[in-house]
Structure formats: C-alpha cells, structure tokens
Amino acid sequence: MIFTIFGATGDLTTKKLIPALYKLYEDDQMPNHFLVNMIGRQTHEEDLFIQRIWEQIEGNFPNWNHFKSHLRYIKMDFTEHYAYEAFAEHMRTIEDYDSQERVYYLATAPRFFPVIANALVVNALVVKGNMRDKIIFEKPFGENLETAKAYNQLLLGLIEESQIYRIDHYLGKEMLQNVLMVRFANKIFESIWNRDNIEHVTIYAFEQETVKQRGGYYDRSGALRDMVQNHLFQTLALVAMDPPNGLNDRLIKDEKVKVLEKLEFSSPIIFGQYKGYLSEKGIPSDSKTETFVGLKMFINTQRWSRTPFYLVTGKKMKHKRAAVVITFKESNCFFESGQPEKNTLTIEIAPREGLALTFNGKAPGLQSYVMPMKMDYCHLCNVIGNTPEAYEKLILDVIHDDASLFTRWDEIESSWKTIDQLEQLKDYEPLYIYENEAEMLEKLKSEWGQFLTYL
C-alpha cells in the first residue's frame, strides 16, 4: 500500500495519522509492502522531518526504527498543477506500483480538496473506477453548504462514490460505535428512548488544548464547523435516530439523515472565545471566531419533539472530556425521606471510555432513606492494552474497502443546512471572552438552568 498524506506538516500527522499507522504496523495489520509519503510545502531534509515527527509524537513506539524506514517526505506545492508530474513520476518508480493499494489522505483545509483531487485524476494517480485508488477527505467537508455541494459535485465527476471516504474520526471511536449496541441490544433502554421518558440529552466535547499551530485553518472554521457540523451532529444522530429496519450501513445512514434533516435550534446560542486566542499564530488580531459554542437543539420528530438536546464544545477548558448524558424524567413516586434523583445514563467517550447508570435505592440502615446509586462500567479497563484509536480503525476500514463508518454525502448536506443558519446568527449573538471553563459553564447555567447539573 502507498499511503500519501497531503498537508503532512500539520498537527494531524503527528497527533493522529502516524501513531495510527504505527499501531497498525505493530499489530500486523499493514500490508507487507507499504510506504507512507508525507507531502508538505516546506523545505525539509527527509531525515530531519522524520526526526521531528519522532520528537513530537506522544506514546510508546518501540519499533519506530523499523517503522520509520517506510516513511518518506516529499516537498511539493500541492496547489501547483505542474508539481504533480514529478510526483506521478516518483510514484511510478515505486516497486509494484500497479498492484499496490493507493490511498491519498487529504489532511488539508477543505478549500484545497478540488485542486488536489483534480490533479490526482489528471495525472492518472487516481483512476475513476479503479478500486485500488481511494481518497480520504478530512473533515469538515466544505466550508458551508454551497462549497460542500460544489466539491461533492466535482468529485463525483472525477471518481466513483465508492472511492471517496469522507472521514469523521468520532465515528471510529469505540463508544460512538457502542451507542447503537447499547440502544438496540437492550430492551430496557430502547423502550424508554423517547420524549415521554427522557427529559433532556447533553452531548459535550471539551478540550484542554488551544488551537496550537492550526490557527490558519481554525480561524476560518471555528467550533461550529470544526466540531459541531461533524463530531457533535454525528453523535446526536446516533443517539436520536429511530431503529433502522436492519443493521446495515445504508439503513443506519438513512435513519441518521432523517434526524439531521429535522434539527431545530433555540436562541440564544452561546459563543465564546478563549482569552489569548488573538495572540495565537495565524489569527487576525480582530478575529471573532468562536472557540466555544453552546447550543440548545430540538429534533422535530415524533420520538423527540420538545426534548432539548444540549450540545457544548470548547477549547482551553479545564480537562479533556467528552460524553453523552441521557437524563430521564423524574419518578413520580414519593418516599417519606429523601427525594429520588433523576436517572442518568452516561456514555463516556473520552478520556475514559465507559457507561454509567445512576438510579435510586434504599440507603443501608433502619430507616427508609432513598439514596442515589451508580453502576459504572469501564470499557477501557476490560480490554488488554488500549482500545484502538479511532484513526486506526478507520484507516483499516479504508484498506478493506469498508465505508460504513464514513459519512455519506446526504448526512453532510443536512448538517451544513443547520450550520449555515447558525453561522448567520453569529452576527447577532455576543461573543464571550472566557478565561476558563467555569466562566462558560456559569453562562450556560444562567441560560439553561437546572439542565446542566451533569455537565
């Protein structure tokens, strides 16, 4: 396999892609012959570039010296058509080029998708209908509905849908894959998974990190496009979809689209920007880009109408943590002492992967006091080693031609429809400059009150 990364000097390569490829290599999941081409515009000596990656990657890589012999750095300006001729020549000198799988990973800002995809096809590096040639598009796919549509149309003119992988790495996360299992393999949940029994749902993804070196991309994106359009909406779709008529990929995606088509939001939308954002590399000094967003959404379906879904994400928060919290309605049974608490089911996505169910029972002792109790399942603790990182799973799926955990065009299209509307509201909503997580949580509490007890 020849795995080529465009935009390889960006954070994604060191943070996710190289560690994922390394782990697949260590687990014997990579084909015997593989080569990783890392394409960047900067002038680097190959050895020094690989050494820099080694210094930046986090984790344990005991076989790095073997693995690194599969890595190449190629200096190339991927916006220039002529550059692809030399690249194509280089590719064709690779041993067994014709019989290898060729995967191109576009880890670039979306505006470069058309030029790269087009040049790959013009130079016959990707041939329409040849299932050995595949292109993975990093999210967000497009900057808004209009550009996403234009990119998609152009791509479908160049290659087959089956050669296109629109990645949303959240879908490769263990606990996201677990949502459907938990919902549909358990009678106790599926029968109460609706507005009659669920009071509200909170989906959050907090990060301690700032935008770091990604200012150039991030400032044109913001939290709405970077996290909500893809990761949070996909999570919401899995939590809220109706049971599919069968557990096949197409039917599941059909149900997800029905949810994404019915999203509605209620104002105010809470936008925030962390203090210090304007001094980050690549950020204009008057930028109004949000690094935090809090949304109250509704899904206009029979199952969910009037049930609030709170979606919250932010950078520079206290800790990294992501979860889905389902809060059930109050029980209407009264006891002499103590008030039962609302049941909650928490699907923990990161950093711990797990499930926690809170319920009420009798406190030990002579009196009849109601006491909250918790059943806590740690998914991560029950496997030997770590659960696979999302990118490992997804790259392996591409190698095996399995697009089930990749987003279909109509999912992306429906998501952009809502995001475009939300983007327009930015001009009317205040942008809070926050120093820490607590300030933003206070803000949310003052808007949404009691609902945020579990955040």
Q: Report, as residue numbers or ranges, the catalytic residues.
A: 231
- What one-character-per-residue DSSP string does 1-16 give? -EEEEETTTSHHIIII
Identify which of residues 16 and 342 has a Cβ nearer to ligand BG6 in the complex: 16
Residue 46 near residue 421, CB atoms below 8 Å: no
Least Cβ distance, residue 213 to ligand BG6 (angstroms): 12
Identify which of residues 207 and 242 has a Cβ nearer to ligand BG6 in the complex: 207
Query: Which among 395, 342, 347, 397 has a CA at the least distance from the CA of 370?
Result: 342
Least Cβ distance, residue 18 to ligand BG6 (angstroms): 15
How far, in Å, CA of 453 to CA of 343, rounded?
A: 12
Least Cβ distance, residue 102 to ligand BG6 (angstroms): 24
How distant, in Å, are the alpha carbons of 241, 346, 353, 376, 406 from that of 381?
A: 29, 17, 9, 11, 27
| Contact with ligand BG6 (CB under 6 A) among 101, 143, 226, 353 | 226
Contact letters for ligand BG6, residues 123-142 (x by CB under 6 A): ----------------x---
Identify which of residues 139 and 342 has a Cβ nearer to ligand BG6 in the complex: 139
How far, in Å, CA of 230 to CA of 311, rounded?
A: 12
Least Cβ distance, residue 349 to ligand BG6 (angstroms): 8
- Verify binding: residue 18, ligand BG6, rule CB under 6 A: no
Least Cβ distance, residue 416 to ligand BG6 (angstroms): 16
Least Cβ distance, residue 419 to ligand BG6 (angstroms): 14
How far, in Å, CA of 355 to CA of 168, rounded?
A: 22
Identify which of residues 118 and 144 has a Cβ nearer to ligand BG6 in the complex: 144
Cβ-in-10-Å burial (0-12, 13-18, 19+) of 301 comes to middle
Residue 273 near residue 439, CB atoms below 8 Å: no
Identify which of residues 83 and 223 has a Cβ nearer to ligand BG6 in the complex: 223
How far, in Å, CA of 183 to CA of 71, rounded?
A: 42
How distant, in Å, are the alpha carbons of 161, 171, 303, 399 from that of 403?
A: 10, 11, 28, 10
Instruction: Give how many residues touch ligand BG6 by CB under 6 A.
Output: 5
Burial 140-151 (b: 16+ CB within 10 A, else e): bbbbbbebbeeb
How far, in Å, CA of 169 to CA of 173, rounded?
A: 7
Q: Which of positions 279-308 make contact with ligand BG6 (CB under 6 A)?
A: none
- Verify binding: residue 350, ligand BG6, rule CB under 6 A: yes
Least Cβ distance, residue 328 to ligand BG6 (angstroms): 27
Identify which of residues 170 and 448 has a Cβ nearer to ligand BG6 in the complex: 170
What torsion, rounded to 10 degrees, do the Cα atoms 43, 62, 351, 215 define?
-10
Q: Which of positions 80-109 make contact with ligand BG6 (CB under 6 A)?
A: none
- Verify binding: residue 167, ligand BG6, rule CB under 6 A: no
- What one-character-per-residue DSSP string does 266-289 give? EEEEEEEEETTGGGSTT--TT---
Identify which of residues 287 and 358 has a Cβ nearer to ligand BG6 in the complex: 287
Instruction: Give the other-Cβ count within 10 Å of 331's Cβ.
Output: 15
Burial 393-431 (b: 16+ CB within 10 A, else e): bbbbbbbeeebebbbbbebbbbbbebbbebbeebeeeeb
- Which residue is closest to ligand BG6 by CB? 226
Least Cβ distance, residue 311 to ligand BG6 (angstroms): 15
Contact letters for ligand BG6, residues 171-210 (x by CB under 6 A): ------------------------------------x---
Identify which of residues 21 and 299 has a Cβ nearer to ligand BG6 in the complex: 21
Three-state secondary structure call for residue 295: strand
**Which residues contact ligand BG6 (rule: CB under 6 A)?**
139, 169, 207, 226, 350
